[in-house]
Structure 1
Amino acid sequence: MTNLPETMTAIAIPEPGGPEALVPETRPLPEISGSEILIRVKAAGVNRPDVFQRQGAYPPPPEASDLPGLEVAGEVAAVGPDASRFKVGDAVTALTPGGGYAEFCKVEETNALPKPEALSFTEAAAVPETFFTVWSNVFDRGGLRAGERFLVHGGTSGIGTTAIQLAKAFGATVFTTAGGAEKCAFCEKLGADLAIDYRSQDFVEAVRNATDKAGVDLILDMVGGDYVARNWKAAAVGGRIVQIATLHGATETIDFRVLMAKRLTHTGSTLRPRNTAFKASIAAALEEKVWPLIEAGKVKPVMDSTFALTDAAKAHARMESSGHIGKIVLTV
Structure 2
Amino acid sequence: MTDFHIRYGGEVARALQDGRPVVALESTIVSHGLPRPDNLRVAREIEQAVRDGGAVPATIGMVGGQLVAGLDDAELTRLATADGVAKLSVRDLAVAAATGADGATTVAATSAVAAAAGIGVFATGGLGGVHREAAQTFDESADLTTLARTPIAVVCAGVKSILDVGATLERLETLGVGVVGYRSRRFPGFFVTDGGFDLDWSVDTPEQVAAVLAARAEQGVHGGGLIVANPLPETEQLDRDLHDRTLAEGLALMAAEGVTGKAVTPFLLAHFHSATEGASLAVNVRIILRNADLAARIAVAASRRPATAAA
- TM-score, normalised relative to structure 1: 0.29
Tell which has more relative contact order, 1 or 2 (C-alpha 8 A, sep 6+): 2
Structure (1 or 2) with the greater strand fraction:
1
Structure having the larger proportion of residues in helix: 2
How high is the TM-score relative to the length of structure 2? 0.30
